[in-house]
Structure 1
């Protein structure tokens, strides 16, 4: 299953991250996962939220550049080698990982890895063939 992620482009200026997060807070948007990457001129804040289109609209109304794209969320055993097993499946299927980020599920011994591949459908197929649990948006939002 595909999961929608929002990417917010942040100028490297004081307060831009805080402003974006405040807008989401005021819109009552719960952030389920996030990652931020930095370049010399801007940052990219990637978020998993329950209503990505609503978050996108609120941010764009406040002059943020936002993109919604699809990613894969998978359950991984929270133990050494857990991530390696997932990457081995994708590598073995010649599927390139553009980026990933992870978070730990607090009540269970598992981690959740959010993966962006060049071809989402091929990534999902390869992981499902190896019996890896692909999480739905509903699964992630319940965490």
Structure 2
């Protein structure tokens, strides 16, 4: 149920995001989801890829600083209020969300959202109890 996410720290300089994506592409690693948070000097790129272990090795070999985290990908209704209904379940059960972002690829008529939770195991338990579909593989 947990998906491995790769977080990469990059300098906020022209072409650095290209460098990261290019090295992944050259090594046949497919990016399934990506989000970028930036500050004036650096950024954090969060990636869901098809081969996380290979990706982290290649990224580090190419001079990037990277870490791995576990996230949960959840199906939510692709309609007004679809995300809000999933968030209500989490809120009602005191599940803290550290961050979230949309998923690039759709597996059904629903939208996919990636969540990083403070207590991932409790979040998975609550989501399943409330019949919210969790994606186990990208």
Name the counterpart of 2:129.
Answer: 129
TM-score by structure 1 length?
0.92
What does 1:98-109 align with in structure 2 at a 5 Å threshold?
Answer: 98-103=98-103, 105-106=105-106, 108-109=108-109
After superposition, the CA RMSD in angstroms is 1.3
CA distance in 2, matches of 1:136, 1:66: 23
Q: Find the aligned partners of 1:58 and 1:124 in 2 and give their Cα distance.
A: 30
Query: What are the within-5 Å matches in structure 2 for residues 100-119 of structure 1?
Result: 100-103=100-103, 105-106=105-106, 108-119=108-119
Q: Post-superposition shift, 1:108?
A: 3.7
Aligned length: 138
Taking the aligned partners of 2:28 and 2:60, their CA distance within structure 1 comes to 16
Distance 1:90 1:61, change over 3 A: same
CA–CA separation in structure 1 for the residues paired with 2:48 and 2:103 = 11
Aligned pairs for 1:63-74 (under 5 A) are 63-74=63-74
Give the equivalent residue in structure 1 for 2:28: 28
Q: Which residue of 1 aligns with 2:15?
A: 15
Gaps of 5+ in 1: none
C-alpha displacement of 1:77 = 1.2
Query: How far does residue 105 in structure 1 lie from its aligned partner after superposition?
Result: 4.6
- TM-score, length-scaled by structure 2: 0.95
Whether the aligned pair in 1 keeps the contact of 2:3 and 2:136 (CA below 8 Å) is yes
SS in 2 for 1:32: strand
Query: Which consecutive residues of structure 2, in runs of 5 or more, have no partner in the other structure?
Result: none
1:56 aligns with 2:56: yes
